[in-house]
Chain A
Amino acid sequence: MTEAELIARAKRGDAAAYEELVRTYQGIAFRTAWLVAGNAADAEEAAQDGFVKAYRALWRFRDGAPFKPWLLRIVTNEAHNRRRTAGRREALALRASGDVVSGDAAPSPETALLGSERREELLAAVNRLEEHHRRAIACRYFLDLSEEETAAVLGCRRGTVKSRLARALERLRAELGEEA
């Protein structure tokens, strides 16, 4: 069944169809919420509440529009609310083993390029960025969101995503003592 069919069924009250949409997007919804809320417990609550609210708001979802950015916007709002309350953020960290996830295919050329010291240096520099720059970098590079999806998460225009990313990379280069 296509995503459009699942949405159409969910709009008619088919909970099983909506459950399938939840399964499709729960990973990215949770990771996005984690990025914004700053911890796993708040992220799980935010993602779950976001899915429930998205279901209730589904009647006004425009047919044919991309579902993922719409959903991520709702989840992000939920995560924002929790972040304001908690007021904390966990820094991004490297996997303890230093390996990529087991079961992944052979590392990409970009992955193979990075030595462990460089990984640590790069991530430490990302963590030192201002929050809006760090978040833009994380959305585009670590969560692999499109510009439209990143705009939904950041709550800004696509053009702003481009300029914010450009500034974030500029700051990152400065942090790393590199030239453009």
Chain B
Amino acid sequence: MVDMRSKKETNKEADLALVRRAKKGDYRAFDLLVLKYQSRIISIAFKYVKEIQLAEDISQEAFIKAYKSINSFREESAFYTWLYRITANTAKNYLVSKGRRKESSFSEISTSENEDYFDMPTNDSPEQILMAQNLRNTIHDALSSLPEDTRTALSLREFEGLNYEEIALIMGCPVGTVRSRIFRGREALENLISPVADKFKVINNKEII
């Protein structure tokens, strides 16, 4: 019988290999974590300061702080949760230092250590939300066109949060085959997402037609 863990638990574990390399001073590992989380971290910072340039600066500072203090991350929460808290605190400190807000007025954005932030919305504009939805629709449409074995392996990984060994047990195939199927499925989706994601990236610019 497969012991299924939560999807969030699997996500948390997925970051640990990189976190542990970063703890050994390997900035390349941390760089991949920056790439993975930067868009969400900037959104969080933006929620506080309402200016994109400021949000970028605060996010950069938060990432630097996180790297410098990564040995204090005890791996009890998800890395993203920890990073979220650093970002929120950096933004709050900035606003307090500028006298733009009183410290006591930040209660609406929780920064509890044990809270899970993966599903927290980031107050994007209606356009961004619409484009994100288009991106998702495109991917989900493409998913249905994948060969069945590929689709099943990818779905078990992405939707059910199973690890490769668990998927191999369910599908009755070697772990290497699971790894290969998941990779092939992602390849197909990535080729498709490229133009749609590109459109998303210029969403802040208005069409003039």
Bind each other: no
Measuring CB to CB, which residues of chain B are less than 8 angstroms from any residue of chain A?
Answer: none
